[in-house]
Amino acid sequence: MFRYIVRRLLQMVLAFFGTTLIVYALMFAGQGDPIQALAGERPVSAAQRAYLTEKFHLDQHGVGGFFYRYADYVTNLLRGDLGESLTGRKIGDILAQAWPVTAKLALIGLLVAIIIGVTCGVVAGIRRGGVFDNATLVLTLLVLGVPTIVLAPLAQYLLGVKLSLFPPTAGADPSLYALLLPGIVLGCLSLATALRLTRTSVAENLRSDYVRTAKAKGLPTRRVVGVHVLRNSLIPVITFLGVELGNLMGGAIITEGVFNIPGVGFNLFRAIRTEDGPLVVGLVSVLVVVYLVSNLVVDVLYAVLDPRIRYE
Amino acid sequence: MQVRRLAAWTALPLAAALGLAACGGGDSGESNANGVVSVQIGEPQHLIPTNSNESSGNQVLSALFTPLVKFDAQNKPYEVAAESITSTDNKVWTIKLKDGFTFHNGEKVTADSYINAWNYGAYGPNGQGNSYFFEKIAGYDDMQAEDPDGDGPQRAPEPKAKTLSGLKKVDDLTFTVTLSKPYSEFKAVLGYNAFYPLPQAAFSAPGVLKEDFEQAPIGNGPFKMKGTWQHDAKIEVERYDAYPLDKPKISGAEFRIYQQLTAAYADVLSDNLDVIVTVPTENLSTAESDLGDRLQKSPNSSFQFIAFPTYQKEFSNPDVRKAVSMAIDRDEIVKSIFKDSQVSARSFVSPVVAGYRDNTCGEACEFDPAKAKALYQAAGGPAQLKITYNGDGGHKDWVDATCNQIKANLGIDCVGVAEPKFSDLLTKIKAKEPVGLIRMGWLMDYPSMENYLGPIYSTNGSSNYYGYSNPEFDQLVADGAAAATPEEAIKKYQQAEEILAKDMPVIPLRFGQNVFAHSTKVKNVEVDLFQVVDMTKIEAVS
């Protein structure tokens, strides 16, 4: 197990540099005129253009220019310097500020998905075909069908502005309560999928041989469902939720925008808009690390849930 | 802005369905001098006066600094931090400062505070966004580095001078500014935030600004920083008690940073935010019923137009350009798409500047489909038109509507083509690609006709991307700038504007307005021509 984890961690280093190269190349290829993009519609002063061009080596074009700038970026990265955004802010600072908020938001989303999704999924799975099962089926279909773009402003308007149950926006240093609504909105999609997955998995496992055996042994239903069925049913759900954690963090662009939370999605949106290559690479690289780590955690959890799975 | 628009699609019908009750009454209640108000801004790009040129940064700086001049109701400059600004020949200007101004660190504001700040802004290698404001001052050219090989990798040599030769200190509170050539409206230019002073404490060495100065700028204004700039979150300021002029009516303010206007709007609706400077377009149709008289409008300087790329042969005939202009029903678009948040434009400069006249465009801006079609066919205009715009600015609706009008009224084909960003559009124009008609906009830097005529229409104008060039026009603008009095200058400018009406290099479409809203917790909210909330007038209601 230990060797397995070390091997995975080493692979991560490789994957990390691979992604920075790809993302950097994509940003480089798609880059038009970042200085004008920064200025919007205002004319750029000659002095400012010369200054930024010099500072960010924007006059390095073509394949040679790409490797020059990428090498420059990686050398600085190895020294622990993520570079500066076009407005002169340290990217390291931006990341340090954005990640904790996004992580909090994603965790709330994930907790919502786990607590409500898995619980309702188990109940629906046990009472397959019942009223609860059918009701959740309709509801989850509805949630799956409505995109966040619609759901987020709707929730903000109804629950935030009209009913004043939650603050309409969370802001920069949000309380847990302020993050609850955006967290629920963000977690809704995962919740629906987790619920469907759990429900199918539980329903499936309830009919399997070992459940019949357990029942024949005279075990109470609580133990049969709570230990035997649930443990086996959670494997696909865990896989899904592990990947989903990455999605929740990276996919919060809309939610963070609507609720004005200056997290990763918020910054990513701005960075792409202003063609801020180094900032995009920085944000995406950390996202990649999150994906890799959550995948590793999922793989390790398999072994915990199902003793038959061994890693060497 | 796909995201925002889709959001609006869902939010609007919903809001309508709910039948919102109007919340009335804004300007009631006692003023609370200890109140703190919150104002929506975007994340500023910079907070150095000579480097900040977008409204978010300017909003914060306007609280921290006091300008030499401000503008009265007629948009004429009057002295604020200056005691007097005089010149006998429009070339050498003597600026006397009011005594009693101090920076927030206690340092006295002197002539040096201005000279040092301006030298820093004008020095090319500092890369300041507002450096072009100092162009008119003698010695500016010597402070710019010339790139030895165009834009190559070779490092540019150091400029010849580190200071503007045109700035001379007379005594502690007086200095003279020598311009490279006479300019009658220099006083108006001084109202822009590029001309704020900086304290000694801002510099780590002469001509070198402290690296973290913009995290907590020290100014001479009615408010001082409370803590530092909290990026992406907020900037807090508090009343500066040693301020010599009228003190603000609140104890402090919080400039809260939003990325999306719709989020800020939701906060104003629920009294979580006090002022939103721009009500988002998607909320305009419900804003009136949401807010009642807390939704307000005031003029601003923005000017929206469509330009003809002169490098494309098919647009070289002015009659083609006139015909297209006559085929557009401006009032209809303003009403149906902008819900009267903007007004139709039939002149080439904004109504906010002295010398503006209504309808200088004349017949060419009158909606007359029959005449337009006849003129277009006689002039042999192209069978297909294209209007290129930037897709991230919410322009799709009106560009498509304009195209439909052209289609119906001229009997030709017309399509709106979106480029992702304005910078992509500019890249194409610079490469002289056939982009067709180009959507353009302009915000002024200082209230003068020259600030429209110069950058937008003169041959070397900073925003004249479409290559319009008429030597006669250039000469009249130059004559105006050199005129002895502002009145004479205006006469020349007006003559220049008449040439535009003949040539029609662009189609004037709309003048902008500030459409702002405030919560029930503030009153006396005023937004000026530069889209900046007047922080000395706003009051908190207890």
Report pLDDT digits (tens) over B376-408: 999 988 999 999 998 887 899 999 999 999 999
pTM of the model: 0.85
Query: Which residues have C-beta within 8 Å of that of residue B212, sequence separation ≥ 6?
Result: none
Instruction: State the smallest CA–CA distance between residue B146 and chain A in angstroms.
Output: 10
Instruction: State the smallest CA–CA distance between residue B216 and chain A in angstroms.
Output: 14
* Nearest Cα to Cα of residue B302 among B455, B438, B425, B445: B445
How many CB pairs (< 8 A) connect A and B?
A: 169
The predicted model gives B294-313 an average pLDDT of 90
**How many structural domains compose chain A?**
2
At B365 the pLDDT is 92
**In the predicted structure, residue B260 carries a pLDDT above the cut 80:** yes
CA distance B199 to B101: 12
At B438 the pLDDT is 93
First to last CA, chain A: 6
* Nearest Cα to Cα of residue A281 among A67, A18, A33: A18
Instruction: State the smallest CA–CA distance between residue B376 and chain A in angstroms.
Output: 31
Instruction: State the smallest CA–CA distance between residue B173 and chain A in angstroms.
Output: 30
Residues 36-65 of A with CB under 8 A from B: 36-48, 50-55, 59-60
CATH class of B67-214: alpha beta
> What's the CATH code of the domain at A245?
1.10.3720.10
Assess whether A107 and A43 both reside in one domain.
no
CB nearest B232 (choices: A150, A152, A262):
A262
Residue A83 domain-assigned (yes or no): no
Cβ of residue A148 closer than 8 Å to a chain B Cβ? no
At A269 the pLDDT is 86
At B148 the pLDDT is 52
CB nearest B128 (choices: A47, A254, A269):
A47
Residue A226 domain-assigned (yes or no): yes
At B254 the pLDDT is 95
**In the predicted structure, residue B158 carries a pLDDT above the cut 60:** yes
Give B43's contacts in chain A (Cβ within 8 Å): 270
Residues B280 and B64 sit within 8 Å (Cβ to Cβ): no
- Closest residue of A to B4, CA-based? A149
Residue span(s) of chain B under CATH 3.10.105.10 come to: 299-513
Give A167's contacts in chain B (Cβ within 8 Å): 270, 272
Instruction: State the smallest CA–CA distance between residue B390 and chain A in angstroms.
Output: 10
Show which of A78, A106, A123 is a domain's final residue.
A78
CB nearest B423 (choices: A36, A59, A149):
A36
- Band the pLDDT of B457: cuts 50, 70, 90: very high
CB nearest B129 (choices: A34, A48, A269):
A48
Interchain contact, A33 vs B426, CB within 8 Å: yes
Assess whether A124 and A42 both reside in one domain.
no
Interchain contact, A161 vs B269, CB within 8 Å: yes
CB nearest A167 (choices: B45, B131, B272):
B272
- Closest residue of B to A153, CA-based? B7
Residue A27 domain-assigned (yes or no): yes
Give B236's contacts in chain A (Cβ within 8 Å): none
Residue span(s) of chain B under CATH 3.90.76.10 come to: 67-214
Assess whether A199 and A277 both reside in one domain.
yes
**In the predicted structure, residue B213 carries a pLDDT above the cut 90:** yes
Assess whether A146 and A167 both reside in one domain.
yes
Assess whether A214 and A294 both reside in one domain.
yes
Structure tokens at B31: 């003023």
Residue A84 domain-assigned (yes or no): no
Name residue, tokens 């009919």: A207
At A236 the pLDDT is 86
Assess whether A100 and A73 both reside in one domain.
no
Give B455's contacts in chain A (Cβ within 8 Å): 43
At B211 the pLDDT is 87
Assess whether A73 and A124 both reside in one domain.
no
pLDDT tens sequence across A105-115: 999 999 999 99
**In the predicted structure, residue A238 carries a pLDDT above the cut 90:** no
Interchain contact, A161 vs B266, CB within 8 Å: yes
At B524 the pLDDT is 93
- Band the pLDDT of B156: cuts 50, 70, 90: low
At B28 the pLDDT is 55
Assess whether A229 and A176 both reside in one domain.
yes
Beta-sheet pairing, B203-205 with B208-209: antiparallel
Query: Which residues have C-beta within 8 Å of that of residue B150, sequence separation ≥ 6?
Result: none
Residues 151-170 of A with CB under 8 A from B: 152-154, 156-158, 160-162, 164, 167-169
Give whole-number Cα distances, A54 to A32, A83, A130, B127, B520, in Å. 17, 14, 68, 10, 49
CATH code reported for the domain at B299-513? 3.10.105.10
Give B3's contacts in chain A (Cβ within 8 Å): 149, 253-254, 257
Interchain contact, A154 vs B54, CB within 8 Å: no
Residue A249 domain-assigned (yes or no): yes
pLDDT tens sequence across B231-248: 989 999 999 999 999 899
CB nearest B423 (choices: A32, A94, A152):
A32
Assess whether A194 and A170 both reside in one domain.
yes
CA distance B338 to B282: 10
At B4 the pLDDT is 43
The predicted model gives B16-41 an average pLDDT of 65
What DSSP string runs through B260-292? -HHHHHHHHHTTS-SEESS--GGGHHHHHHHHG
CB nearest B132 (choices: A45, A153, A253):
A45
Assess whether A261 and A167 both reside in one domain.
yes
The predicted model gives A248-266 an average pLDDT of 85
CA distance B312 to B300: 33
Q: Is B531 left (phi over 0), alpha (psi -120 to 50) or beta?
A: left
The predicted model gives B12-25 an average pLDDT of 40
Give A32's contacts in chain B (Cβ within 8 Å): 421, 423-424, 427
Residues A83 and A76 sit within 8 Å (Cβ to Cβ): yes
Show which of A54, A78, A102 is a domain's final residue.
A78
Q: Return the half-sphere exposure (C-beta side, CA atoms, 13 A cut-off) of residue B292.
A: 10
Structure tokens at A196: 């469907």
Give B262's contacts in chain A (Cβ within 8 Å): 153, 258
Interchain contact, B262 vs A153, CB within 8 Å: yes
Instruction: State the smallest CA–CA distance between residue A193 and chain B in angstroms.
Output: 23
Residue A226: strand, helix, or coil: helix
Interchain contact, B232 vs A156, CB within 8 Å: no
Query: Which residues have C-beta within 8 Å of that of residue B505, sequence separation ≥ 6?
Result: B307, B308, B310, B321, B457, B466, B468
CB nearest B10 (choices: A43, A150, A269):
A150
Helices and strands (H and E) in chain B: how many? 14, 21
- Band the pLDDT of B32: cuts 50, 70, 90: confident
Cβ burial B141-152 (10 Å sphere, 16+ → b, else e) = eebbbebeeeee
Residues A161 and B20 sit within 8 Å (Cβ to Cβ): no
CA distance B410 to B413: 9
CA distance A272 to B478: 41
At A124 the pLDDT is 92
Of residues A31 and B531, more confidently modeled: B531
Residue A159 domain-assigned (yes or no): yes
Give B10's contacts in chain A (Cβ within 8 Å): 149-150, 153-154
The predicted model gives B175-198 an average pLDDT of 93
* Nearest Cα to Cα of residue A102 among A252, A225, A208: A252
Interchain contact, A50 vs B147, CB within 8 Å: yes
Interchain contact, A156 vs B266, CB within 8 Å: yes
At A46 the pLDDT is 79
Share of chain A above pLDDT 90, in %: 15
Of residues A123 and B149, more confidently modeled: A123
Residue A242 domain-assigned (yes or no): yes
Give A265's contacts in chain B (Cβ within 8 Å): none
Give B422's contacts in chain A (Cβ within 8 Å): 36-37, 40-41
- Band the pLDDT of B26: cuts 50, 70, 90: very low
CA distance B524 to B26: 9
Give A35's contacts in chain B (Cβ within 8 Å): 423
Q: Which DSSP symbol is given to B249?
A: S
Interchain contact, B258 vs A260, CB within 8 Å: yes
Structural domain of A66: 2-78
Share of chain B above pLDDT 90, in %: 65
Give, in degrees to the nearest 5, the angle at Cα A60 between A56 and A61: 130
Instruction: State the smallest CA–CA distance between residue B5 and chain A in angstroms.
Output: 9
pLDDT tens sequence across B34-86: 999 999 999 998 999 999 888 899 999 999 999 999 998 888 899 999 999 99
Identify the helix (H) or strand (E) that includes residue B523.
strand B522-523
Assess whether A219 and A145 both reside in one domain.
yes
Residue A196: strand, helix, or coil: helix
CB nearest A42 (choices: B53, B123, B144):
B53
Interchain contact, B124 vs A37, CB within 8 Å: no
**In the predicted structure, residue A170 carries a pLDDT above the cut 70:** yes
pLDDT tens sequence across A62-112: 788 888 888 888 888 888 888 888 888 888 888 888 888 888 999 999 999
CA distance B251 to B270: 23
At B1 the pLDDT is 38
* Nearest Cα to Cα of residue A266 among A199, A202, A205, A186: A186
ipTM above 0.85, yes or no: no
Average pLDDT over all residues of chain B: 88
Cβ of residue A92 closer than 8 Å to a chain B Cβ? no
Instruction: State the smallest CA–CA distance between residue A270 and chain B in angstroms.
Output: 8
Give whole-number Cα distances, B352 to A123, A288, A312, B299, B356, in Å. 67, 51, 76, 7, 7
CA distance B536 to B542: 18
CB nearest A48 (choices: B128, B153, B463):
B128
At B155 the pLDDT is 60
Average pLDDT over all residues of chain A: 86
Share of chain B above pLDDT 70, in %: 93
CA distance B66 to B60: 12
Residue A311 domain-assigned (yes or no): no
Interchain contact, B263 vs A259, CB within 8 Å: yes
At B391 the pLDDT is 84
At B401 the pLDDT is 94
Beta-sheet pairing, B234-239 with B223-225: antiparallel
**In the predicted structure, residue B227 carries a pLDDT above the cut 90:** yes
CB nearest A168 (choices: B3, B53, B266):
B266
Cβ burial A33-47 (10 Å sphere, 16+ → b, else e) = bbbbbbbbbbbbbbb
Share of chain A above pLDDT 70, in %: 99
- Closest residue of B to A265, CA-based? B259
Q: Testing the interface with A: which of B45, B46, B290 to mutate, by most A Cβ within 10 A?
A: B45
Of residues B430 and A311, more confidently modeled: B430
CB nearest A149 (choices: B3, B151, B422):
B3
Assess whether A166 and A40 both reside in one domain.
no
**In the predicted structure, residue B29 carries a pLDDT above the cut 80:** no
Residues B279 and B287 sit within 8 Å (Cβ to Cβ): yes
Strands (DSSP E) along B34-156, which ranges? 36-41, 69-71, 77-79, 82-87, 92-97
